[in-house]
Copies of this chain bind each other. A is one copy, B any other.
Amino acid sequence: MSETVCIHGAGSSRFAKQPERSLAELVWDAVIEALDDAGPDGADGIDAVYVGTCFGAPGTAQRALHTLGIVGVPIVTIENACASGTTAFHEARAAILDGRARRALVLGVEQMSTAFAGAIHPELGDAEGASGMALPSLYAMSASRYLANGWVTERQLAQVSVKNHRHAEGNPRAQYSGRYTVEEVLASRPIADPLTLLQCCPTSDAAAAVVLGPARGAARDVPVRASRLASGGLWDHRTDHVWGFALVRDVAAAAYEEAGIGPQDADLFEVHDAFTIGEIVTTEALGLAAEGEGGALVDSGRTTLGGRQPVNPSGGLLSRGHPLGATGVAQLCEAVWQLRGDAGARQVDGARIAVVETMGGGVSGIDGNGAVVAVLGG
Contacts A80-B77, A361-B58, A369-B58 known; A72 to B124 CB distance under 8 Å?
Answer: no
With A and B bound together, what is the CA distance between A339 and B234 in angstroms?
Answer: 37
Query: How far apart are A166's CB and chain B's nearest CB, in angstroms?
Result: 32
- A residues 162-211 in Cβ contact with B at 8 Å: none
A218: which B residues are within 8 A, CB to CB? none
A63: which B residues are within 8 A, CB to CB? 363, 365-366
- Contact between chains at A74 and B231 (CB < 8 Å): yes
- Contact between chains at B66 and A365 (CB < 8 Å): yes
Which of B71, B79, B90, B118 contacts A121 (CB under 8 A)? B118
Nearest residue (CB) in B for A247 is: B72
A73: which B residues are within 8 A, CB to CB? 230-231
- Contact between chains at B81 and A59 (CB < 8 Å): yes
A229 contacts partner chain B, Cβ-Cβ < 8 Å: yes
Contacts A95-B94, A233-B66 known; A87 to B76 CB distance under 8 Å?
Answer: yes
The proximity string for A residues 77-101 relative to B, scoring 1 for CB distances below 8 Å and 0 otherwise, is: 1111100000100110011011110
- Contact between chains at B71 and A232 (CB < 8 Å): yes
- Contact between chains at A234 and B76 (CB < 8 Å): no
Query: How far apart are A281's CB and chain B's nearest CB, in angstroms?
Result: 19
- Contact between chains at B58 and A81 (CB < 8 Å): yes
Query: How far apart are A225's CB and chain B's nearest CB, in angstroms?
Result: 17
- Contact between chains at A233 and B120 (CB < 8 Å): no
A131 contacts partner chain B, Cβ-Cβ < 8 Å: no
- Contact between chains at B126 and A57 (CB < 8 Å): yes
A316 contacts partner chain B, Cβ-Cβ < 8 Å: no
With A and B bound together, what is the CA distance between A94 and B124 in angstroms?
Answer: 33
A87: which B residues are within 8 A, CB to CB? 76
Which of B118, B231, B233 contacts A123 (CB under 8 A)? B118
Query: How far apart are A229's CB and chain B's nearest CB, in angstroms?
Result: 5
Extra inter-chain contacts (16) besides given A66-B232, A77-B79, CB under 8 Å:
A57-B126, A58-B79, A58-B363, A59-B81, A72-B233, A73-B231, A74-B370, A75-B231, A76-B78, A76-B87, A91-B91, A94-B95, A98-B99, A114-B124, A118-B124, A119-B124
A115 contacts partner chain B, Cβ-Cβ < 8 Å: yes
A137 contacts partner chain B, Cβ-Cβ < 8 Å: no
A18 contacts partner chain B, Cβ-Cβ < 8 Å: no
Query: How far apart are A264's CB and chain B's nearest CB, in angstroms?
Result: 27
Which of B71, B98, B118 contacts A231 (CB under 8 A)? B71
With A and B bound together, what is the CA distance between A369 and B170 in angstroms?
Answer: 39
Nearest residue (CB) in B for A127 is: B57
- Contact between chains at A76 and B91 (CB < 8 Å): yes
- A residues 48-72 in Cβ contact with B at 8 Å: 49, 54, 56-60, 62-63, 66-67, 71-72
A125 contacts partner chain B, Cβ-Cβ < 8 Å: yes
A369: which B residues are within 8 A, CB to CB? 58-59, 62, 75
Query: How far apart are A61's CB and chain B's nearest CB, in angstroms?
Result: 10
With A and B bound together, what is the CA distance between A234 and B59 in angstroms?
Answer: 12
